[in-house]
Homo-oligomer: A and B are copies of this chain.
Amino acid sequence: MTKARLEAFSDGVIAILITIMVLELRVPHGTGWTALEPLLPVFLTYALSFVFLGIYWNNHHHMFHLVDRINGKIMWANLHLLFWLSLTPFVTAWMGENHFASLPTAAYGAVMLLAAIAYYILQTAIIRHQGPRSRLAAAVGGDLKGRLSPLLYAAAIPLAFVHEWISDALYVAVALIWLVPDPRIEARIAAEH
């Protein structure tokens, strides 16, 4: 089976998720600066989740660039990833509307952790399908980022109950780690052309 429809479907779901989050930026009733003030945390969480979903789309793009064929397991591993990503608008809105309270902040981390695990499962399913000598297996080699991110998310969940800003700082840190697209994969792509 070819990967075209899996890519198109994933692009569609991520495009919708990244866009419907903006519906939580409820239009204020007033027209003054004070009307905008309560929207600030919602806006910041929106921007964070936009970057978060953008990273997943970027990495998904990079990863499937090295994939030729897919099978049923890869399709379900991909749907599993999309399931956890689909909860992003929910935790984004819950955290944003409650000024980063402890439980919503921890829930945000939990969804991020589960998405990171799902991404790892998907990557493993692809490598298993392609064999250990595949281009992707070589490219992700000692995948430091992929192992570090779940650890940081796992740490952020209990730390949200100590102080929510610790977790928020960790989320921003993970975002920054990933913002640079994986140089190993980019290098490999560049080397092949």
Residues on B with beta carbons closer than 8 Å to the beta carbon of A128: none
A112-133 vs B, Cβ < 8 Å mask (1 yes, 0 no): 0000000000000000000000
Q: Contacts A12-B16, A16-B19: A27 and B189 contacting too (C-beta < 8 A)?
A: no
Q: Contacts A5-B61, A9-B14, A101-B31: A25 and B90 contacting too (C-beta < 8 A)?
A: yes
Within 8 A of B (CB), among A46-86: 47, 50, 54, 57-58, 61-62, 65, 71-72, 75-76, 79, 82-83, 86
Residues on B with beta carbons closer than 8 Å to the beta carbon of A65: 1
In whole angstroms, what is the CA distance A93 to B97 when docked? 20
State the main secondary structure of chain A at its contact with B: helix
In whole angstroms, what is the CA distance A101 to B24 when docked? 22
Residues on B with beta carbons closer than 8 Å to the beta carbon of A15: 9, 12-13, 16
Residues on B with beta carbons closer than 8 Å to the beta carbon of A191: none
Residues on B with beta carbons closer than 8 Å to the beta carbon of A17: 19
- 16 residue pairs of the A-B complex, CB under 8 angstroms, read A1-B61, A8-B11, A9-B14, A15-B16, A16-B19, A22-B87, A22-B90, A25-B90, A27-B93, A31-B103, A32-B103, A50-B79, A54-B76, A57-B79, A61-B75, A75-B181
Given A28-B94, A61-B75, 9 further pairs, Cβ under 8 A: A5-B7, A9-B15, A9-B57, A13-B19, A16-B16, A23-B89, A27-B90, A47-B83, A72-B181
